Amino acid sequence: MTEKLQKVLARVGLGSRRELEQWITEGRVSVNGKVATLGDRVGESDVVRVDGRVIGQAAMQGPERRVLVYHKPLGEVCTRSDPEKRPTIFEKLPPLRNGRWVAVGRLDVNTTGVILLTTDGELANRLMHPSNTVEREYAVRVFGEVKPDILKRLREGVMLEDGLARFNTIVDAGGEGSNHWFHVTLHEGRNREVRRLWETQGITVSRLIRVRYGPVQLGRRLRPGRYEELEGEPFQALLQLVGLARKETRPKEGKGAGEKARAGKGKGSEPGKAPAPGARRTKPRIDSNGEPAERGDPAPRPRSVPRGRSGGDEPSPPPRRAPSRRKPGTTERNRRG
């Protein structure tokens, strides 16, 4: 059985299909010693090289499929390296032994909110592809008077430089004057599409936050610059959304489950703040500054009492006496001899 070359390389985690198609066009990929071309298919017996490095058959089966939910802060870019030396979203992610993190789409430097990253390039490609119509939701703060006829035009469709575009839904989220908020949804991710749509109506977007990507919500407790790993039902819901069958998982990279927990406590999710894996995520409330509103800190957990000790002023139980070592059948008369 053979598969398209770019699909196999995407599964390895080298990048999205779009990126890898560019690599093939640039002559960076070879199959059995010959420079590959778009449309090539490979099987188990083929030798694939990228930049001269052989991609082993084990690696071509793909790393364990994982997804991170990252809260992108203001000022970070979604590229791996930036000529202007601005911080990137990849600097705060946990390291991988095999493969690399692939971003599902991009957010511009002035947009904050949820962005997904995965080790599976095929999953990233399906989540981004327009044919799968994965819905994105944004909280938008606008400056300018928004009349009903403007909202009607934005729902029906406006012609942009790259074609017709529209919002699927627009919900008034309150506020007054220069602090008026709307929640909008759309099924594609063109460059700066939300901002450009509003600008066609003479409305300026002063704040833009992506609060949902498909079924994945931006959790209240996920602070900017932090991440959490998607697991359980939310993870399976994301796979089912794009038609990917459940994949058998392998042991976590590193030193087991503890490694994953420690990864989230470093530059990732804040200890004590991230919700439990698989927990239901609720739609965030946006405050007047555009930040997701927080609840109070959780109550402290009661201290456990060590086993074998008592709590309070009660005395500890007396130690148990050691059993007698007398041999069976020994009598007082036998001992006197």
What residue ranges define each of the domains in the chain, with the CATH number in brackets? 3-60 (3.10.290.10), 67-130+216-265 (3.30.70.580), 135-213 (3.30.2350.10)
Walk across the sheet containing 48-50 and list its strands.
34-35, 29-31, 48-50, 53-55
pLDDT at 109 over 50: yes
pLDDT at 217 over 50: yes
pLDDT at 284: 52
Spot the catalytic one: 82, 108, 162, 172: 108
108 has catalytic annotation: yes
Q: pLDDT per residue over 126-166, tens digit each? A: 999 888 889 999 999 998 889 999 999 999 999 999 899 99
pLDDT at 237 over 60: yes
In 3-state terms the chain splits into helix, strand, coil percentages (rounded to 5) of 25, 25, 55
CA-wise closest residue to 92 among 292, 269, 272: 269
CA-wise closest residue to 139 among 313, 310, 287, 4: 287
What is the number of other CB atoms lying within 10 angstroms of the CB of residue 66?
Answer: 23
Report, as an integer, the average pLDDT of 194-201.
Answer: 95
On average, the pLDDT of the chain sits at: 78
Q: pLDDT per residue over 169-197, tens digit each? A: 999 998 877 789 999 999 988 889 999 99
Q: CA-CA distance, 225 to 223, in Å (whole number)?
A: 6
pLDDT at 212 over 70: yes
CA-wise closest residue to 267 among 94, 89, 114: 94
Report, as an integer, the average pLDDT of 86-111.
Answer: 90
**Sequence-distant (≥ 6) Cβ neighbours of residue 122 within 8 angstroms:** 7, 10, 11, 17, 62, 244
Share of the chain above pLDDT 70, in %: 71
pLDDT at 134: 93
pLDDT at 35 over 70: yes
Structure tokens at 269: 């999710």
Q: CA-CA distance, 151 to 216, in Å (whole number)?
A: 26
Question: For the chain, what is the total number of helices (H) and then of strands (E)?
Answer: 9, 17
Q: pLDDT per residue over 258-284, tens digit each? A: 344 334 434 444 433 444 444 444 455
